[in-house]
Structure 1
Amino acid sequence: MAAPTNRAQLDVLVVGAGVVGLAIGRALALRGHAVIVAEAEAGIGMGVSSRNSEVIHAGMYYPAGSLRARHCVAGSALLYAFCERHGVPHRACGKLIVATSPAEVATIEAIHARGVTNGVPGLALLDAAEARRLETHLACVAALHSPRTGIVDSHALMLALQGAIEDSGGVLALRTPIEGLERRGAAWHARFGGAESGELVCDAVVVAAGLSSPSLIGAIEDYPRERVPRLVLAKGSYFACTARPAFERLIYPAPVEGGLGIHLTLDLAGRMRFGPDVEWVDRLDYAVDPGRGAAFYAAIRRYWPGLPDGSLTPDYAGIRPKVTGPGEPAADFGIDDGREHGLAGLVALSGIEGPGLTASLSLAEDIAERLEA
């Protein structure tokens, strides 16, 4: 819980009730601010937050000093503590990042070095025999073990965050799409639609609307055009596995452009699923093409040769809200406040993809501190 602040209470609108928006609403409400979290959909977490791997990442993938690295490492510790305190189902099952060819060994060694620099606890490089002692069905030439990587029930997490907001006096407004934002004098005016359209006046606004953030930011009249984020859609499909669970830990291949590779993840009952892949798309489409299964079998069998034929079935898909496209370096989290865009009382988030869920509580503290500065 954040320490009380001596700053005067702010009336804050948070746009978006995904895991990051809810975490921000909680952080602000705990600090004594009056908070409304507005969500266009009929429920919380119905976008990016409900269509991911539900992994608690440790923080070894991201460049040293980046927002992704800082908030992933700090957010992981905060998230485990929050889940323990609030009874959110989770498990630190651990993860192996595997090299399935000699050429990939240097890749996982570089991830290890980056993780050590980032302060990720417990990382260890393993040879093939050591990795197979942990996971007998695994095929690899080397692996990186991350014992603090885990899994979480993301929906239970978001419900706990919602409860914390409401217990602290905050309000969740569902079916309330924010259609426009305008700074007038010392206040923000938010135009909202839905069954009862109208206007809300507040001191500050946080845009945490996932896939909708770039369009909402771009519609703010005085927002610098060169700072309006792009929206690049990278679809990731998942396949469920009907085979008997063969692993106790998450298994990740060496990363690929646009994502972390088709990995094996587990739910809290121990069931296996695989994904996501990367498919650059130009529209929102959450249907899983069964034809993508062939590429899944080939990718998975590099580290699990025993994957049975016919055991993969289409499950679900998500869309990553990227701000960079194929062939471009991956962007850091985008967090623009008045120092960047010149508009007081506005924090605009963009490109909050993985590890956004893990980083959410740390991001929330950062945003609250920016608004109180």
Structure 2
Amino acid sequence: MKAPIYSLDYDVVVIGAGVVGLSVAAELGPRARVLVVETCAGIGYGTSSRNSEVVHAGIYYPVGSLKARLCVLGRRIIQDLAAKGEIDYAKVGKLIVAVEPVESKSLNELFENARRNGVEEMERLTAREIKVLEPNVQCIEGVLSHSTGILSAHSLMNYFSRKARQAGVDFLYNSPASSIKFMKPGYVVGVRDQGALTEVTCRCVVNCAGLYADQVAELIGIDTARQSLSQVWSKGYYYRANGLPLTSINRLVYPVPTRLITTLGVHATIDLGGGIKFGPTGEYLENKVEDYSLPATVSKQVVDDIARYFPMIRDYELEPIMAGIRAKLQKPGQAHRDFHIRECRDMGLPGFVNLCGIESPGLTAAPAIGKYVTGLLARFH
């Protein structure tokens, strides 16, 4: 970073220690003096720890969008890290299956979209070919993505955390950001540290606050409603089928998504230990309360959604095992919204990088987001 006009505590304050904030810190650490402030007691307490842990190929997202570009690049970086033994990862592949003829058009569009996004190793399969790979899956045709994988989200976060600390990045936990003021030549970030207010001065701020990113943006005066950056929360549940043989599914299996592609449907995933889980469901929350409690019962709709492509699920009892919440920019019924990642100099906030709506494929894209944000701040270092 260029030497500031006045002495500042840090060059960059990163708000949030989820997978994206950690990636940003790891990339900026060798180039700048960085402080990460986090509301919780450690890294990855929120959305980063409560997801499918799927490494997406880049199939679904509009061509040229940040989601598409950063997902493809992030997936390649993850594969490189895995090849070097840095993270826990497996390239297991994914089937996207059409169950009814009406879904074939959407499947064709997905295949073409993936090709235009630069996704490698895609293959069209007939029902008979799929039966050989997945005898328990019911469909009329499908697409096989060989490059889709799974990983341990914690191993990726631990890698970024380790890399950041080795570069001299400081971390402050149990310390929510309570105020942000732009005062040339930089910012003053108010942090609640063990109840006491501490002010930290810095040249740049990166808002990686996840579920609370819109609230952090409002601290600096960004009108999130006017800028269409008010996040809505969607809660989803994951299930396991008690007694289901681990050999019932050999790779990830997804239904064809809705036309708006705001959710990928209740899918079947395997984890690094060979376990099988189904989910997530998705329902918008009227009130933004970070509540990860599980339902007492499993709705018939969930069973029916899975049984469309995996009929044998009706022979087993589903049990809720995890809940997750993701922040979305699109409201119910609205079409896809891209990641919002922007340096706000045109708003009179040079060096303030705002990240909102970092939902799926945020985990896959995280390594690339760190590089992208570092590029946005290139003129400051």
Structure-1-length-normalised TM-score: 0.94
Aligned residue among 335, 338, 341 for 1:329: 335
Kindly provide the amino acid, as one letter, of the partner of residue 39 in structure 2. A
1:261 to 2:265 alignment = yes
- Alpha carbons 1:95, 1:146 under 8 Å: kept: yes
1:295 to 2:297 alignment = no
| Structure 2 match to 1:22 | 22
CA 1:109/1:94 → structure 2, altered by over 3 Å: closer, same or farther?
same
1:223-238 equivalence runs, <5 A: 226-227=226-227, 229-238=229-238
CA 1:184/1:54 → structure 2, altered by over 3 Å: closer, same or farther?
same
1:163 to 2:162 alignment = yes
Kindly provide the amino acid, as one letter, of the partner of residue 274 in structure 1. F
Per-residue Cα deviation, 1:269-310 (whole angstroms, up to 9, x for no partner) = 111000011111123222221434422211111111112434
- Alpha carbons 1:227, 1:341 under 8 Å: kept: no
- Alpha carbons 1:55, 1:358 under 8 Å: kept: yes
Q: 1:241, CA displacement in angstroms?
A: 2.3
| Structure 1 match to 2:284 | 280
1:79 aligned counterpart, secondary structure: helix
Q: 1:323, CA displacement in angstroms?
A: 1.1
- What are the ranges of 5 or more consecutive residues in structure 1 without an aligned counterpart? 1-5
Kindly provide the amino acid, as one letter, of the partner of residue 244 in structure 1. P
- Alpha carbons 2:98, 2:255 under 8 Å: kept: yes
Q: 1:160, CA displacement in angstroms?
A: 1.2
CA 1:263/1:8 → structure 2, altered by over 3 Å: closer, same or farther?
farther
- Alpha carbons 2:29, 2:167 under 8 Å: kept: yes
Q: Partners in 2 of 1:255 and 1:95 — Cα distance? A: 14
Q: 1:226, CA displacement in angstroms?
A: 2.6
1:161 aligned counterpart, secondary structure: helix
RMSD value, Cα: 1.7
1:60 aligned counterpart, secondary structure: coil
Q: How many residues align?
A: 367
Q: Partners in 2 of 1:311 and 1:222 — Cα distance? A: 48
Q: 1:339, CA displacement in angstroms?
A: 4.3
1:212-251 equivalence runs, <5 A: 212-221=212-221, 226-227=226-227, 229-242=229-242, 243-245=244-246, 246-251=248-253
Kindly provide the amino acid, as one letter, of the partner of residue 283 in structure 2. E
Q: 1:228, CA displacement in angstroms?
A: 6.2
Farther off after superposition, 281-290 or 249-258: 281-290
- What are the ranges of 5 or more consecutive residues in structure 2 without an aligned counterpart? 5-9
Kindly provide the amino acid, as one letter, of the partner of residue 357 in structure 1. L
CA 1:260/1:165 → structure 2, altered by over 3 Å: closer, same or farther?
same
1:172-183 equivalence runs, <5 A: 172-183=171-182
- Alpha carbons 1:236, 1:278 under 8 Å: kept: yes
Q: 1:190, CA displacement in angstroms?
A: 0.1
Q: Partners in 2 of 1:87 and 1:190 — Cα distance? A: 33
1:314 to 2:314 alignment = no
Q: 1:79, CA displacement in angstroms?
A: 1.3
Runs of 4+ in 1 over 6 A off after TM superposition: 222-225
1:163 aligned counterpart, secondary structure: helix
Q: Partners in 2 of 1:225 and 1:261 — Cα distance? A: 28
CA 1:340/1:278 → structure 2, altered by over 3 Å: closer, same or farther?
farther
Q: Partners in 1 of 2:338 and 2:90 — Cα distance? A: 27
Q: Partners in 2 of 1:221 and 1:135 — Cα distance? A: 53
Structure-2-length-normalised TM-score: 0.92
1:72 aligned counterpart, secondary structure: helix
Q: Partners in 1 of 2:313 and 2:76 — Cα distance? A: 34
Farther off after superposition, 257-266 or 110-119: 257-266
CA 1:68/1:333 → structure 2, altered by over 3 Å: closer, same or farther?
same
1:145 to 2:144 alignment = yes
Q: Partners in 1 of 2:3 and 2:186 — Cα distance? A: 15
Kindly provide the amino acid, as one letter, of the partner of residue 233 in structure 1. W
- Alpha carbons 1:123, 1:144 under 8 Å: kept: yes
Per-residue Cα deviation, 1:9-60 (whole angstroms, up to 9, x for no partner) = 9711100000000000000013x21111111000110111011100000001
Q: Partners in 1 of 2:94 and 2:139 — Cα distance? A: 14
Q: 1:338, CA displacement in angstroms?
A: 2.7
2:312 aligned counterpart, secondary structure: coil
Per-residue Cα deviation, 1:148-182 (whole angstroms, up to 9, x for no partner) = 10000001111111001001111121111111111
Aligned residue among 349, 369, 374 for 1:343: 349
- Alpha carbons 1:290, 1:313 under 8 Å: kept: no
1:368 aligned counterpart, secondary structure: helix
Aligned residue among 374, 378, 381 for 1:368: 374
Q: 1:61, CA displacement in angstroms?
A: 0.1
Farther off after superposition, 214-223 or 109-118: 214-223
Kindly provide the amino acid, as one letter, of the partner of residue 213 in structure 1. A
Q: 1:221, CA displacement in angstroms?
A: 2.9
CA 1:7/1:161 → structure 2, altered by over 3 Å: closer, same or farther?
same
Percent identical across equivalent pairs? Answer: 35
| Structure 2 match to 1:3 | none
CA 1:207/1:80 → structure 2, altered by over 3 Å: closer, same or farther?
same
CA 1:190/1:223 → structure 2, altered by over 3 Å: closer, same or farther?
farther
Q: 1:84, CA displacement in angstroms?
A: 3.0
2:297 aligned counterpart, secondary structure: helix
| Structure 1 match to 2:68 | 69
